[in-house]
A and B are shown apart, each in its own frame.
Chain A
């Protein structure tokens, strides 16, 4: 940004703030003045309700709230009706009202217009009383929200089925219900000039490296944006390498995943309005782990992890390997297989590279259409897709049958990656890999792999190298990366950055019949 633009931006911001909020203007003593000012601010806001009444039939008062964000029943029962019947205390201390009359659990005293606007916007009905220089807000917010449901994108067979919702209060409660220690800290801040979105930075004091928290807090505080609609906005503004296709922050819909990571010393960033909670620092291998790995038996989980690694490799390389073998290294294909492959490719008019690109792009289009299209016609697209991709194209002689198989396996493989975004990154890299394979064969694939590894080695997520624990090698952490060791072996937490609490649990917990029931 040049200097003029910056100047303009600063002036613009001031203008906006003057319009929106008379910042830190204290409330007046006269109710009429306050009401006039508030009505001016909420000009043309048909959803804001101003209700004037008299406390005990004498003192004038005003309740301001937003229709639809406030529990009006509670407001009527516990505030309005009680106040109308009572007498305003003589010493005119507003605290007395709170102590003796209003039966609402969460109340706040507000002194400025800014506070009033914020409290009204959050759904808290705000009470202004004549001859009082402060207002009262009542925690009676209530709006329509989705109930806690099973997460859509991260399913498990065994494990909790609760998923985060769009409400930050519910999400914080879901985490707090699992981690009950007061060491679980949740720092709240507001981001977004207009949306004023609540963002919460959660961590467990004593486990996390405080430098990590300081760094994350600093990065969040430097965000200057007009609105935050999803955690993705914030992710893009705090990550280390914006140009990389790989996600450097893990996002999850699951409270148990969030808590597991908090317990390993990571931080979580919860954003209001989205069920996706961000976790940092993330590594490539953390993106290849599912929460269910820790709930199933360890041997089974280890085997599934290997299967996942294998298919991650397949989803990255299979089409390009096919292209390279067919185009350059036919001698590596066993003779009988080569003959049947050659027979099915005989009628195909395209070179292998074009064929592969055609099919991969079609598959990606089908996938994207399947996500986006209305649920009612989902069946139609899958039928058309299966017919077009599968049978018709082969029968028409446009595509060979082995190519269809390759694309199908690759498609399945890419859905095995537990975190959808990581799968997208690998799918994206598949296309350049196919070009490399089509031009330089196996050498091209190798060079592509080397470049990918160089790139992955360059990335850090909040200071943690992305390829930990393979590069840099940390043998102690292999037992939760290459395999999933049983819980009684995982006595140490993974090392992220700086100082950390290394011991996770007591030693020598391997169960067995000889342990018996006697604790001595």
Chain B
């Protein structure tokens, strides 16, 4: 096996939660509000179904083929040639997705550091993430645990501080136009929730496998609840204006004012948010590097880390010409792509495996 490290179910949960939440926290509320208006708090509920589905698929596949990631088990199910094509597509999607994430991060940071060149902002993050990937799954798991409170607590604190200004009346009228708007609003978060399929790359390294489902379940529920809460708070605070605000959580932070001392905390939110992006990018980075090594039958993934990092940096410019294209892609293409690659194709593979009755006979011997 390429990855010799072991992680716990708790670590998997804490790795996978920021993967969804780091993007969703920032631009989620306004994107959902554009479709669902004041019913946006319902959208994460619908979208989380996609999360449950992809996580369930990943766990079922892992049960049939323990110790194998999607790249390897596709080879078992479909045979060499189709698996090679599928693997290449997967790696390409991961690479492109990572580039979009990094580009989104850089465009956001550029609001704060207007004169710093984008390539420096992106390069710094990719370099930092490459260190984590170099450390392997254990290091990523531990850093995720260390950072988890640092990611959650400031969010809760901020909500507590704006609490007096919240107006629950903005919630009304509930379901004025039926369920449809909230379901439409679930389209974009559906893409984010599908990203949870990345646990497929983590499950083979899990030490306590019986808790895999519990941990993944809590990660999905946690992400869903956080999204609902963030949506509600921003809605209560901004009302109808929400869908015109680019990053509602930043404006919420700017609203905080404690004793005329803590004010304009949006830079602090940016700093906290970088933690989430770090976890997310290193997860995608790790999946790309590990997947490539498996796809090429290499004996170690370490030599791939820097080249793949360079590729991500290049894709940030090649694949994403401008900030407007990012927005368009993020609203339409990327959710569809993610749902296809992280829900439907794995589901198809699982179905194929069930129909053909295929499973990894050697079981634990292989995974050890």
Contacts and interface: CB of A to CB of B under 8 A. Distances in A.
B171 interface: no
Contacts of A445: 271
A444 to B, nearest CB: 8
A35 to B, nearest CB: 62
A467 B135 CA distance: 14
Interface string A445-456: 111001101110
A443 B125 CA distance: 10
A329 interface: yes
Nearest to A442: B271
Interface stretch (A12-20, A206-214, A469-477): A469-477
Given A443-B270, A443-B271, A457 B142 contact: yes
Given A443-B113, A446-B274, A458-B135, A332 B143 contact: no
Interface stretch (B38-46, B80-88, B261-269, B300-308): B261-269
Contacts of B231: none
B135 A451 contact: no
Residue of A441, A454, A465 with highest tally of chain B CB at under 10 A:
A454
Nearest to A457: B142
Given A443-B109, A446-B274, A454 B139 contact: yes
Interface residues of B, number: 36
A224 interface: no
A378 B95 CA distance: 61
A451 B282 CA distance: 12
Contacts of A465: 142
Interface in B105-150: 109, 112-113, 116, 120-121, 124-125, 128, 131-132, 135, 138-139, 141-147
B128 A457 contact: no
Contact of A467 (B8, B121, B131, B146): B146
A329 B8 CA distance: 39
A328 B266 CA distance: 13
A346 interface: no
Contact of A471 (B132, B142, B265, B267): B142
Contacts of A472: 8, 11, 141-142, 145
A446 B8 contact: no
Contacts of B330: none
A334 interface: yes
Contact of B267 (A332, A447, A451, A454): A332
Nearest to A334: B261
Nearest to B144: A471
A332 B142 contact: no
Interface in A424-470: 440-447, 450-451, 453-455, 457-458, 465, 467, 470
Contacts of A332: 263-265, 267-268
B278 interface: yes
Contacts of A331: 264, 267
A417 to B, nearest CB: 19
Contacts of A443: 109, 112-113, 121, 124, 270-271, 274
Given A328-B112, A447-B125, A447-B274, A457 B135 contact: yes
A107 to B, nearest CB: 55
Nearest to B132: A454
A320 to B, nearest CB: 12
A351 to B, nearest CB: 15
Contacts of B331: none
Given A440-B124, A472-B8, A451 B131 contact: yes
Contacts of B120: 440
Contacts of B145: 470-473
Residue of B132, B142, B261 with highest tally of chain A CB at under 10 A:
B142
A457 B139 contact: yes
A329 B263 CA distance: 12
B176 interface: no
A454 B264 contact: no
B271 A450 contact: no
B28 to A, nearest CB: 21
Contact of A442 (B10, B146, B267): B267
B260 interface: yes
Interface string A300-331: 00000000000000000000000000001101
A447 B116 CA distance: 15
B213 interface: no
B204 to A, nearest CB: 18
Given A454-B143, A471-B142, A471-B145, A447 B124 contact: yes
A334 B135 contact: no
Given A332-B265, A472-B141, A454 B135 contact: yes
A18 to B, nearest CB: 46
Residue of A441, A443, A473 with highest tally of chain B CB at under 10 A:
A443
Contacts of B109: 443
A498 B28 CA distance: 45
A451 B8 CA distance: 22
Interface in B176-234: none
Interface in B243-283: 260-261, 263-265, 267-268, 270-271, 274-275, 278
A453 B270 contact: no
Nearest to A436: B124
A100 B14 CA distance: 75
Nearest to A336: B260
Residue of B120, B128, B275 with highest tally of chain A CB at under 10 A:
B128
Contacts of A447: 124-125, 128, 274
Contact of B146 (A329, A441, A453, A458): A453
Interface string B3-45: 0000010110000000000000000000000000000000000
Nearest to B264: A331
Residue of A328, A332, A455, A471 with highest tally of chain B CB at under 10 A:
A471
Contacts of A444: 124
A453 B125 contact: no
Contacts of A334: 260-261, 263
B139 A458 contact: yes
Contacts of B138: 457
Contacts of B267: 328-329, 331-332, 441-442
A444 B127 CA distance: 13
A470 B145 CA distance: 7
A367 to B, nearest CB: 30
A250 B128 CA distance: 29
A440 B116 CA distance: 8
25 contacts: A329-B267, A331-B267, A332-B264, A332-B267, A440-B116, A440-B124, A442-B267, A442-B271, A443-B271, A446-B271, A447-B124, A447-B125, A447-B128, A450-B128, A450-B147, A451-B128, A454-B132, A457-B138, A467-B142, A470-B146, A471-B142, A471-B143, A472-B142, A472-B145, A473-B10
Interface of A: 328-329, 331-332, 334, 440-447, 450-451, 453-455, 457-458, 465, 467, 470-473
10 interchain residue pairs of minimum CB distance: A471-B142, A457-B142, A471-B145, A471-B146, A446-B274, A331-B264, A442-B271, A329-B267, A457-B139, A446-B271
Given A443-B124, A467-B142, A471-B141, 19 more contacts: A332-B264, A440-B116, A441-B267, A442-B112, A443-B113, A443-B121, A447-B125, A450-B143, A450-B147, A450-B274, A450-B278, A454-B131, A457-B135, A457-B138, A457-B142, A458-B139, A471-B143, A472-B11, A473-B145
